């Protein structure tokens, strides 16, 4: 960590003092006049810039992000290149076989005439056979292919009936007629036509051609180009295209289930991820997804035909590409070919009974739910679960959802309905009586106690209820994704026509592209989506999917000339016409150019800077009251700072970005996800979603804060607004001029209640109510210096700061009046005078007043670093000269190292002052060097030598920091305190620094690399029990045993002395006494002592074990021995920790070299004696985990 160096701070202050001496004003009044003039000019510039920003129409803001311009241009070039290649292939194909499509089209017409009874089957067959002969197609091979398909179909159809003969028997007994004729038994078959509805038909025993003709009469007429594609593929492919979705009810092969489940998983996962991305990113990723899904599909049939034809006959290869297929290859948003579309449509629209949760598809759906929720923040996932649970409050709600999703068979099972009924009664009763015990509820409701216990657990519901809620969750998520995608699309045809008029170049970008067809599809998409949005398209639900009305889909298909499958794909948000994609890009690009000066980067609709975050937050004031705003504002600011670094040209792996991540405690994966836009902070994401929904909220004015804090003014307050806003902002200014007396009294009463909790402070001055949230969370410079005083060498600087704060609060009047008002306000909020004038025209400001000024101005202490002469106590003696206003992780590392020293070898005295005991002068200098990173600290006298140990009194300001950090004063073995609560959120570097300093003081390292350290605390305080109000944890019998029993070993002050200093017993001996059957009294006492030791653990060593385990080091912890001190009467238990694992010893030696010269040498000798292969393995592992290891 580099941080803010002390030498750098000195240099900046030296430069400032030189400039100040050369340019200082002659008197204070002249300086104030100049300052007022400059302030007026700045205010005018800010107001003019604000006016410019307000001129920008907020309704034109888009919600989601677009790809960078260079990516867009690359994508457009790729699309054009693919279109040109496809068109070249078409021209080549037409030159070599111009008559193929004509002959196949004639064959299609003959087929239609045959179905209508106009031509006899023999004539049509004759024409087809002639075509086969002309194109060198082996008829016998085709026959064999169709035979295999027909046999498989027959086997599939008769599989349900056990009385009927098997497929093999039928193959032997029934000869297969020529080409594709086959006799089948009477059977009821099901099919769906792609619109989402399923139909049944009765097939009588007849030849296969007659069955096919009958099924074709019940099926709606297919699109001409679709049928053309099907017919053209038959002669050249072994793959038989069956009538769409004709299957036996409820039957699917395992392969089909796995393929369909995988498609469903990919689709919902893609849409779930897309929801958290900007709209144009969603569209782009959808385009890529559709393109990848289309590439193998568009060539599947032709590839199969080529391979199989080469294997069987080696004849001439035939490739057919219709105009429709060419279009699908050339457009940006492509679809699957007809076979793939039929297969997908068949899966999505065929009705079936509810699937078993243990079936492959049921398990896949569970994985889908996990994928969806894993992409959301935890608070959103929890609120979504709660919303789903609240949908069902009684049996009527359950039945309504069941019928909505077509799961009526659940209502037919008595056990299921009875379980649901009992669960809902239990839930309702438990909600009405939250204080009642489970036993009381069981007795009242007369239900199974074990069932009630399971229902008490979180998220435990009956299986039927979970199934219904899961399908309802599918429906809700699909609707959310659809709404997000449609927000940046054209609303009506007028908007679309304007777009076409503005962009005439689209028609001429590629002369060979089917532009007119693109326009027709875009117009059709707008009309269909508009009808859906207005609720004019009927549908029903099955397993979370929307099944649309067949007649309506047919009507749309006939009216707009678009296939039914493509319309269903549009309605489900799976694809978008190409021109709609271009519409989004053009709109976003135009808005980007309009707001370029505001955003300072290319992606206008993204929030990537602090300026834009504040502006967006101002335009969306209702975000103040959302849960995501609580605690998320600071994280959003950190995100904006990171994005600003990236936009300025910094690379993800640069040292600047790594240093930024360390300072802000960001994990490397979080940084990578933010930079790659895989994830964003919750507040950023929600603000971007609200981008186009700005509703003016009068009376709110937010000021930018460079210290991750902000203030706001409110002209129409209420108790609800105040409670919500206090959770986000630290300072609130309320104008009382337009508020009646009753509202004033209500606000004051509310603030008095909050004042009693010591959460806020408020003051009234000049018809303005200022509410300040004075408490600070965590350790920062503001908190550790709040009881100190800031001394300024230049008297003009603090006066200018105060004048700026007065102007920011809007206090009116003369200089004398505003100065008096501000002093009055400071006294109400900080209980101090705020400003003290000292000798030699020097001025000091209390720490609490300085914190208030920073919150008013939206600045940090670091912004005024160059003006501080020193920070110290009220008397002005000692303190920290030239203070360095370090922040974030560097401050955390310094304090962690200080805690490692204090909890080991320091005595924090009750009456004030902290003494440091150390036998090594190098360790004392190391501590001074560590603390001098805060500034030039006056250390006072040299340490004194007492009993072969140096004694050093720490400066008072360091003593103040130690006490503010939460380390209590007094005997630490009696207090048994742990580390401060802030240690649980320490960064990795801070944890390492603590362990370095602690190991230097407390640990013992041997030649084998084994590290041990001990901590002690008392179970009985003896003579000091009254002073610390400590109640003995042991019984009188146990105390008598420790003082008199012969089982205890003794220690004297010196060897040979008869006077006993200490009596002790090891844990092993105490455990043996517990099992002593010959003396039950001693066994009972030993059991009591062991239970007390187990219950009352050492908190400090527990925290240290937790820290070292988080660093990936294995350590063991056990109580060692119990001691009774004869003179003081106290009883202490000694706990010992050790690192014995071989890999952990190497890892610890590499990561945590002790900050002690002798122990560091021992650790280094251990590493030098180990195999280098093992050392390199651990080093590589540490580097992979993100740790920086010094070579």
8 pLDDT exceeds 70? no
- In this structure, what token pair is assigned to residue 87? 């068109």
pLDDT at 688 over 80: no
pLDDT band, very low/low/confident/very high, at 129 (cuts 50, 70, 90) = low
Which residue did the predictor score with more confidence, 912 or 269?
A: 912
Q: Which residues contact 223 (CB under 8 A, 6 or more apart)?
A: 557, 563
Residue with tokens 């007028």: 494
H or E segment and range at residue 664: none
pLDDT tens digits for range 1083-1142: 999 999 999 999 999 999 999 999 998 888 999 999 999 999 888 889 999 999 999 888
pLDDT at residue 1018 above 90? yes
pLDDT digits (tens, 9 = 90+) for 19-52: 555 554 454 445 455 555 555 454 444 444 444 4
Residue 1167 has pLDDT above 60, yes or no: yes
- Give the pLDDT score at 329: 35
Q: Mean pLDDT lowest for which of 405-409, 429-433, 482-486?
A: 482-486
Residue at 694 is within a domain: no
User: In the chain, pLDDT over 70 holds for what percent of residues?
Assistant: 54
pLDDT bucket at 1019, cuts 50 / 70 / 90: very high
The arithmetic mean of pLDDT across residues 746-772, rounded, is 78
Mean pLDDT of all residues in the chain?
68
Q: What local confidence, expressed as pLDDT, does residue 722 receive?
A: 63
C-alpha distances in angstroms, 470 versus 261, 262, 375, 381?
Answer: 16, 18, 17, 13
Instruction: Say if residues 394 and 424 touch (Cβ distance below 8 Å).
Output: yes
Could you tell me if 153 and 15 lie in one domain? Answer: no
CA-based max dimension of the chain = 128
Tokens encoding 569: 């794909």
Q: pLDDT, tens digit, for every residue of 558-592?
A: 888 888 888 887 887 667 787 777 666 655 555 44
**Residue in the structure block whose two tokens are 């739910």:** 369
Q: Residue 1074 domain-assigned? A: no
CA 112/CA 118 separation, integer angstroms: 9
CB-based contacts of 878: which residues, under 8 Å, 6+ apart?
Answer: 872, 938, 940, 955, 956, 957
pLDDT digit string (tens) for 1028-1044? 888 889 999 999 898 88
3 state DSSP class of 27: coil
Torsion region of 968: left, alpha or beta (phi above 0 gives left; psi -120 to 50 gives alpha) = beta
Asked if residue 173 has pLDDT above 50, the reply is: no
Q: Do 1028 and 1177 have their domain in common?
A: yes
pLDDT in the model for residue 106? 67
Same domain membership, residue 1012 and residue 871: no
The helix-helix angle for 279-298 and 300-312 (nearest 10°) equals 20
Q: How many angstroms separate the Cα of 1022 from the Cα of each of 668, 1025, 1084?
A: 51, 6, 23
Same domain for 44 and 117?
no
Q: Does 1131 lie in the same domain as 1027?
A: yes
pLDDT of residue 1104: 92
Number of structural domains the chain divides into: 3
Rank 10-19, 115-124, 811-820 by mean pLDDT and report only the highest.
Answer: 811-820
Q: Higher pLDDT residue, 988 or 622?
A: 988
**Same domain assignment for residues 112 and 239:** yes
Note whether residue 200 is domain-resident: yes
- Looking at residue 882, what is its pLDDT? 87
Shortest CA distance to 713 belongs to which of 691, 694, 698, 692? 698
Burial of 1042: CB neighbours in 10 Å, binned 0-12, 13-18, 19+: buried
Mark residue 957 as left, alpha or beta (left: phi above 0; alpha: psi -120 to 50; beta: remaining).
alpha
Provide the residue range defining the domain that includes 860. 6-52+776-886
Domain presence at residue 757: no
Domain co-membership, 106 together with 47: no
- Which of 214, 230, 247 delimits the end of a domain? 247
Q: For the residues 958-969, what does the mean pLDDT come to?
A: 84
Tokens at 1046, concatenated: 């012969």
Look at residue 723 in the predicted model and tell me its pLDDT. Answer: 61
pLDDT at 474 over 60: yes
Q: Provide the 8-state DSSP code for 166.
A: P
Which region among 371-380, 798-807, 819-828, 1059-1068 has the lowest average model confidence (pLDDT)?
371-380
Q: What pLDDT score was predicted for residue 758? A: 66
Q: Is the pLDDT of residue 956 over 70?
A: yes
Average pLDDT for residues 591-597, to the nearest whole number? 39
Most confident of 206-215, 251-260, 351-360, 1105-1114: 1105-1114
Q: Looking at the structure, do residues 1134 and 987 belong to the same domain, yes or no?
A: yes
Tell me: pLDDT of 708 over 50.
no
Q: Is residue 1011 in some structural domain?
A: yes
3-state secondary structure of 872: strand
With respect to residue 1108, please indicate whether it lies within any of the assigned structural domains: yes
Q: What is the pLDDT of residue 224?
A: 35
Q: Are 408 and 402 in contact (CB under 8 A)?
A: yes
- Name the phi and psi angles at 734, rounded to 5: -115, 125
Q: Are 797 and 804 in contact (CB under 8 A)?
A: no
Q: Of 116-130, 697-711, 787-801, 987-1001, give the range with the top mean pLDDT.
A: 987-1001
Q: Looking at the structure, tell me whether residues 987 and 1102 fall in a common domain.
A: yes
Which pLDDT score is estimated for 779? 74
Please check whether residues 40 and 166 belong to one and the same domain: no
d(CA 526, CA 562): 13
If one counts every other C-beta atom within 10 angstroms of the C-beta of residue 994, the result is 27
Domain boundary among 886, 915, 938: 886
DSSP 706: T
Q: What is the pLDDT of residue 189?
A: 41
Tell whether 27 and 133 lie within a shared domain: no
Question: Within 10 Å of residue 50's Cβ, how many Cβ atoms?
Answer: 11
| pLDDT tens figures, 64-77 | 544 555 566 566 66
Question: pLDDT tens across 285-344, in order?
Answer: 333 433 443 333 333 333 433 443 343 334 333 233 333 333 333 333 333 333 333 333
pLDDT at 30: 52
Q: What is d(CA 211, CA 209) in angstroms, rounded to the nearest whole number? A: 5
Look up the CATH number of the domain holding residue 1106: 3.10.28.10
For residue 1135, the model assigns a pLDDT of 93
Is the CB of residue 533 less than 8 Å from the CB of residue 486? yes
E strands, 775-842, in order: 789-792, 835-837
Looking at per-residue confidence, does 204 or 807 come out higher? 807
Residue 640 lies in a domain: no
In a domain, 217, yes or no: yes
pLDDT of residue 1088: 92
Residue 197 has pLDDT above 70, yes or no: no
In this structure, are residues 1025 and 1131 in contact, taking their beta carbons and an 8 Å threshold?
Answer: no
pLDDT of 340: 36
Q: From residue 501, how far is each of 494, 498, 630 by CA, in Å?
A: 11, 5, 46
Neighbouring C-beta atoms of residue 21, cutoff 10 Å = 9
Q: How far apart are the first and last CA of the chain?
A: 17
Run of H or E including 1017 = strand 1011-1020
Of the candidates 848, 863, 886, which is a domain's last residue? 886
Is pLDDT at 858 greater than 90 in this prediction?
A: no
Model confidence pLDDT, tens digit, residues 373-395:
566 677 777 777 777 777 777 77
Three-state secondary-structure class, residue 695: coil
pTM of the model: 0.46
The packing angle between helices 224-233 and 100-115, to 10°, is: 110
Q: Are 868 and 791 in contact (CB under 8 A)?
A: yes
Please give the sequence-ordered ranges of beta strands (E in DSSP) within 503-542, or none if there are none. 539-542
Q: Which helix (H) or strand (E) holds 585?
A: helix 578-594
Alpha carbon distance 253, 1006 (integer Å): 67
Query: Based on the domain organization, do 39 and 103 belong to the same domain?
Result: no
| pLDDT over 90 percentage in the chain | 4
């Amino acid at each position: 960590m580099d941080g803010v160096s002390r030498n750098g701070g000195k240099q900046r202050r030296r430069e400032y003092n030189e400039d100040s001496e050369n340019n200082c004003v002659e008197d204070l009044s002249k300086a104030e006049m100049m300052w007022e003039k400059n302030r007026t000019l700045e205010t005018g510039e800010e107001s003019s810039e604000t006016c410019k920003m307000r001129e920008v129409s907020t309704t034109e803001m888009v919600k989601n992000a677009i790809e960078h311009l260079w990516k867009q241009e690359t994508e457009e070039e790729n699309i054009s290149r693919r279109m040109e290649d496809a068109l070249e292939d078409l021209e080549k194909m037409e030159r070599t076989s111009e008559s193929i499509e004509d002959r196949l089209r004639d064959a299609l017409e003959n087929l239609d005439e045959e179905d209508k009874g106009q031509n006899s089957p023999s004539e049509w067959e004759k024409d087809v056979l002639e075509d086969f002969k002309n194109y060198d197609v082996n008829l016998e091979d085709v026959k064999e292919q169709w035979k295999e398909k027909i046999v498989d179909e027959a086997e599939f159809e008769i599989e349900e009936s056990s009385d009927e003969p098997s497929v093999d028997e039928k193959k032997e007994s029934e000869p297969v007629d020529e080409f594709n004729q086959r006799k089948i038994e009477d059977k009821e078959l099901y099919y769906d036509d792609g619109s989402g509805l399923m139909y049944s038909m009765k097939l009588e025993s007849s030849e296969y051609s007659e069955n096919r003709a009958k099924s074709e009469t019940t099926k709606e007429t297919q699109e001409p180009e679709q049928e053309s594609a099907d017919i053209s593929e038959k002669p050249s492919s072994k793959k038989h295209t069956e009538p769409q979705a004709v299957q036996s009810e409820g039957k699917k092969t395992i392969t089909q289930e796995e393929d369909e489940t995988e498609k469903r998983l990919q689709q919902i996962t893609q849409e779930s991820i897309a929801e958290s991305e900007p709209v144009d990113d969603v569209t782009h990723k959808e385009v890529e997804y559709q393109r990848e899904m289309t590439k193998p599909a568009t060539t599947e049939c032709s590839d199969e035909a080529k391979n199989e034809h080469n294997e069987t006959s080696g004849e001439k290869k035939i490739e057919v590409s219709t105009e429709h297929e060419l279009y699908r290859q050339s457009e940006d948003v492509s679809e699957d070919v007809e076979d793939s579309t039929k297969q997908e449509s068949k899966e999505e629209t065929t009705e079936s009974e509810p699937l078993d949760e243990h079936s492959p598809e049921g398990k896949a759906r569970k994985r889908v739910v996990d994928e969806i929720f894993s992409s959301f923040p935890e608070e959103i996932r929890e609120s979504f679960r709660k919303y789903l649970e609240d949908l069902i409050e009684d049996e009527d709600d359950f039945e309504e959802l069941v019928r909505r999703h077509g799961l009526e068979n659940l209502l037919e099972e008595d056990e299921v309905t009875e379980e649901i009924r009992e669960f809902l009664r239990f839930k309702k009763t438990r909600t009405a009586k939250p204080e009642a015990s489970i036993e009381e509820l069981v007795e009242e409701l007369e239900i199974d106690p074990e069932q009630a216990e399971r229902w008490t657990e979180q998220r435990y519901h009956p299986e039927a209820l979970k199934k219904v809620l899961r399908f309802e969750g599918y429906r809700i998520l699909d609707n959310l994704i659809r709404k997000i995608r449609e927000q940046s699309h054209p609303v009506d045809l007028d908007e679309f026509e304007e777009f076409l008029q503005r962009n005439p170049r689209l028609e001429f970008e590629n002369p060979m592209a089917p532009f007119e067809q693109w326009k027709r599809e875009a117009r059709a998409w707008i009309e269909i989506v508009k009808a859906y949005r207005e609720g004019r398209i009927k549908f029903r639900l099955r397993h979370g999917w929307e099944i649309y009305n067949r007649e309506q889909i047919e009507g749309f298909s006939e009216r707009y000339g678009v296939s039914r499958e493509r319309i269903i794909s549009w309605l489900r948000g799976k694809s978008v016409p190409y021109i709609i994609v271009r519409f989004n890009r053009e709109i976003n690009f135009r808005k980007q150019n309009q707001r370029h000066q505001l955003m300072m980067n290319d992606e206008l609709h993204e929030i990537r800077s602090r300026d834009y975050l504040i502006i967006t937050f101002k335009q969306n004031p209702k975000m103040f009251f959302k849960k995501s705003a609580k605690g998320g504002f600071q994280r959003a600011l950190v995100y904006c700072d990171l994005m600003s670094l990236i936009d300025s040209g910094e690379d993800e792996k640069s040292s600047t970005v790594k240093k930024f991540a360390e300072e802000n405690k960001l994990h490397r994966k979080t940084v990578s996800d933010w930079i790659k836009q895989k994830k964003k902070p919750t507040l950023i994401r929600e603000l971007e979603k609200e981008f186009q929904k700005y509703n003016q909220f009068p009376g709110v004015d937010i000021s930018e804060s460079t210290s991750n804090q902000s203030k706001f003014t409110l002209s129409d307050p209420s108790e609800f607004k105040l409670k919500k806003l206090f959770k986000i902002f630290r300072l609130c200014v309320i104008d009382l001029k337009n508020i009646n007396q009753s509202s004033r009294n209500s606000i004051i009463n509310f603030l008095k209640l909050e004042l009693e909790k010591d959460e806020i402070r408020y003051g009234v001055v000049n018809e303005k109510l200022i509410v300040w949230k004075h408490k600070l969370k965590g350790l920062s410079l503001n908190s550790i210096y709040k009881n100190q005083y800031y001394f300024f060498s230049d008297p003009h600087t603090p006066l200018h700061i105060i004048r700026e704060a007065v102007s920011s609060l809007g206090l009116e009047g003369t200089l004398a009046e505003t100065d008096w008002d501000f002093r009055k306000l400071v006294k109400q909020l900080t209980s101090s005078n705020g400003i003290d004038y000292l000798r030699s025209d020097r001025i000091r400001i209390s720490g609490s007043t300085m914190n208030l000024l920073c919150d008013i101005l939206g600045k940090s202490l670091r912004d005024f670093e160059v003006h501080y002469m020193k920070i110290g106590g009220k008397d002005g003696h000692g303190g920290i000269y030239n203070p360095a206003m370090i922040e974030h992780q560097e401050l955390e590392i310094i304090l962690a190292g200080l805690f490692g020293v204090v909890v080991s070898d320091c005595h924090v005295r009750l009456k004030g002052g902290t003494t440091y005991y150390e036998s090594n002068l190098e360790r004392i200098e190391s501590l001074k060097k560590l603390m001098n990173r805060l500034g030039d600290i006056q250390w006072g006298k040299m340490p004194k030598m007492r009993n072969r140990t140096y004694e050093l009194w720490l400066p008072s300001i360091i003593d103040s920091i130690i006490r503010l950090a939460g380390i209590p004063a007094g005997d630490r073995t009696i207090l048994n305190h742990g580390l401060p609560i802030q240690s649980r959120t320490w960064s990795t570097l801070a944890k390492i620094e603590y362990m370095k300093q602690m190991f230097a003081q407390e640990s013992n390292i041997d030649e084998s690399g084994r590290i041990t350290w001990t901590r002690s605390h008392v179970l009985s305080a003896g003579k000091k029990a009254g002073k610390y109000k400590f109640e003995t944890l042991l019984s009188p019998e146990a105390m008598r045993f420790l003082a008199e029993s012969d089982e205890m070993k003794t220690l004297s002050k010196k060897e040979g002395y008869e006077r006993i200093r200490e009596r002790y017993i090891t844990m092993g001996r105490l455990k043996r006494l517990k099992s002593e059957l010959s003396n039950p009294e001693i066994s009972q006492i030993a059991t009591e002592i062991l239970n007390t030791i187990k219950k009352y653990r050492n908190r400090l060593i527990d925290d240290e074990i937790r820290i070292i385990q988080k660093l990936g080091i294995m350590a063991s912890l056990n109580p060692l021995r119990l001691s009774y001190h004869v003179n003081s009467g106290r009883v202490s238990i000694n706990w010992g920790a050790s690192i014995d694992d071989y890999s952990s010893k190497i890892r610890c030696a590499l990561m945590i070299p002790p900050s002690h010269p002798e122990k560091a040498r021992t650790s280094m000798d251990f590493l030098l004696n180990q195999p280098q292969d093992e050392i390199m393995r651990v080093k590589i592992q540490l580097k992979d985990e993100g740790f920086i290891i010094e070579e």
